[in-house]
């Protein structure tokens, strides 16, 4: 079997490779890390505090109180969304374009930049469709994940348990889960003497790139999966020929 995941899903793919070595033949890990950096944890804490500081959060009992912490959840989404985008992408998409108001010399300017209205839209849309407690728990899962914790904090020792081949993919403009984090995974896999392929994809879409169309991204996945299919066909053909001769 093959398991594939991006971001938190990539963490889970690595975990399954260790927990089910007899069932996983291939693990494809995209835009992920063996554990979060302090900066990543800090962003998650900012988002959690935004939610918990909303009076409508009601200490997590907002459903019973018939309220929704929409303002806090919207702010949490705005914080998170900025980290999923690259500076280049935001610059090309919004720049300093103004959506409302005008600059007036010597006065407070009621100017709204397009990037501001975009973030508010993202926050409002998200807050109407996502559960606040789920957001808190999901960010904690990210924070607490540490692949090597149970292996004396040694990632090489951790990956030594796996028996599958790995494909690791990163995106060069992703600063939330940077290529450096993926290269740490690759280095540990090599030291653990595992078969690993690595691709660092050029993209200006930041962390969100793993969810979006990209020709090189698609080719990388297709090439790897086709290689698996070709290998499986050859193995089946060999087994069939052995059966005939016996």
- Which residues are tagged catalytic? 7, 174, 207
Q: How far apart are CA 83 and CA 43, in angstroms?
A: 8
Closest CA to 25 of 236, 243, 181, 231: 231
What does the radius of gyration of the chain's CA atoms come to, in whole angstroms?
Answer: 22
* CA nearest to 30, candidates 52, 3, 57, 49: 3
Residues 6+ apart with CB under 8 A from 83: 43, 175, 176, 207
d(CA 241, CA 238): 5
* CA-based nearest residue to 68, from 141, 129, 139, 137: 129
**How many angstroms separate the CA atoms of 163 and 36, rounded?**
25
Q: What DSSP element (H or E) covers 182?
A: helix 179-191
The Cα angle at residue 199 between residues 41 and 168, in degrees rounded to 5: 55
């Amino acid at each position: 079997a093959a398991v594939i995941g991006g971001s938190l899903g990539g963490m889970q793919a690595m975990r399954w490779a260790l927990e089910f070595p007899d069932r996983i033949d291939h693990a494809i890990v995209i835009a992920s890390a063996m554990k979060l950096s302090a900066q990543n944890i800090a962003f998650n804490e900012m988002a959690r505090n935004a939610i918990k500081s909303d009076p409508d959060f009601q200490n997590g009992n907002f459903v019973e109180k018939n309220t929704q912490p929409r303002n806090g959840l919207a702010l949490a989404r705005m914080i998170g969304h900025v980290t999923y985008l690259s500076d280049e992408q935001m610059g090309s998409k919004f720049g300093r374009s103004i959506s409302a108001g005008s600059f007036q010399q010597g006065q407070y300017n009621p100017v709204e930049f397009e990037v501001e209205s975009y973030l508010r839209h993202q926050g409002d849309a998200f807050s109407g469709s996502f559960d606040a407690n789920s957001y808190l728990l999901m960010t904690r899962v990210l924070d607490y994940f540490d692949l090597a914790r149970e292996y004396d904090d040694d990632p090489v020792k951790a990956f030594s348990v796996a028996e599958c081949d790995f494909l690791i993919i990163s995106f060069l403009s992703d600063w939330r889960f940077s290529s450096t984090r993926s290269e740490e995974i690759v280095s540990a896999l090599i030291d653990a003497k595992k078969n690993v392929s690595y691709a660092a994809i050029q993209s200006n879409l930041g962390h969100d790139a793993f969810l979006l169309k990209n020709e090189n991204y698609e080719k990388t996945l297709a090439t790897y999966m086709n290689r698996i299919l070709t290998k499986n066909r050859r193995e089946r053909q060999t087994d069939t020929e052995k059966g005939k001769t016996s």
